[in-house]
Amino acid sequence: MQIRFEHISKEYLKDAKVLDDVSFEIDAGEFVFLVGPSGAGKSTLVKFLIRDDLPTSGDVYFDNQSVASLTKEEIPALRRKIGIVFQDFKVLFSRTVFENVALALEVVDSPILVINEVVPNMLSMVGLSEFKDRFPQQLSGGELQRLSIARALAHEPDVLVADEPTGMIDPASSRQVMDLLEKVNAMGTTVLVATHDQATVDRMKKRVIGLEKGKVIFDKAKGTYNG
């Protein structure tokens, strides 16, 4: 399973390009950081991958399938293959920890027996088993992000995309979250992290793709935020 961004450009206003002819590939099983300042186009690329938006020109290919050409009916199948973790968690505060993870399976009509098996496994993996009956407002920021990761992994996606996953949590929690993402990657899941957290990128020594003013300015197999 490969992801290819081919000659991606995005222009919201004439002569104001958010992305300008961006191309790169991510192979199955890679762990890749997409870095750059706010407004560089990181989150826009994530939106194109999950078909939440379309480029002005170019296309994204997921396992050799054009994402832009997918029909409305085909988009849910794509999104089941891609788990998403957001900066602001996007959990449901009216549901317990267990119920938040279960929701990812309920929306695809998973049997209750499957839900009752998968959810405890996911919570155990992210270290939240003892909090299964708590509500999100009873969790710390780091625990909320681990809950978000558990939910994103519940349907066993091929790819996990994390958009600024450490942006709202403290340094110690950030390290726990990134170590968890590294563990997920070691289990075979492709991981793409969009971030401007220089310290985290430098510590983890993974492939780094740098964006600036809508263009790729460097792509290093093992590098630093500054290239």
For the stretch 51-96, pLDDT in tens is: 999 999 999 999 999 999 999 999 999 999 999 999 899 999 999 9
Q: How far is it, in rounded angstroms, from Cα 57 to Cα 55?
A: 5
Listed in sequence order, the residues at least 6 apart from 210 whose beta carbon sits closer than 8 Å to its beta carbon are: 35, 36, 216, 217, 218, 219, 225, 227
Check if the beta carbon of residue 35 is closer than 8 Å to that of residue 4: no
User: 94-104: string of b/e by CB count within 10 Å (b at 16+)?
Assistant: eebbbbbbbbb
CA quadruple 154, 197, 227, 12: dihedral positive or negative?
positive
> 3-class DSSP state for residue 207?
strand
**Is the pLDDT score of 196 beyond 80?**
yes
pLDDT band at 1 (very low <50, low <70, confident <90, very high): confident
Mean pLDDT of the 190-214 span = 94
Q: Does the pLDDT at position 227 exceed 80?
A: no
Cα separation, 152 vs 168, whole angstroms? 18
pLDDT above 90 coverage of the chain, percent: 89
Q: Which are the contacts of 55, defined by CB distance < 8 A and separation ≥ 6?
A: 8, 9, 10, 19, 48, 68
Average pLDDT across the chain, whole number: 94
Q: Which two tokens stand for residue 198?
A: 């220089």
CATH number of 1-79+195-227: 3.40.50.300
pLDDT over threshold 60, residue 8: yes
Residue 226 has pLDDT above 80, yes or no: no
Query: Mean pLDDT throughout 175-186?
Result: 96
Phi/psi of residue 178, each to 5°? -70, -35
Which of 10-24, 27-41, 112-126 bottoms out in mean pLDDT, i.e. has the lowest? 10-24
Measured between alpha carbons, how far is 55 from 35 in angstroms, rounded to an integer?
A: 19
Specify the pairing of strand 207-212 against strand 159-163: unpaired
Residue 14: predicted pLDDT: 73
Q: Which amino acid is residue 187, in one-letter code?
A: M
Domain boundaries, given as residue ranges, for the chain: 1-79+195-227
How far apart CA 31 and CA 206 sit, in angstroms, is 6
Question: 224 is written with which tokens?
Answer: 């630093």
- Give the rounded percent of residues in the chain with a pLDDT score beyond 70: 98
- Residues 168-183, mean pLDDT to the nearest whole number: 95
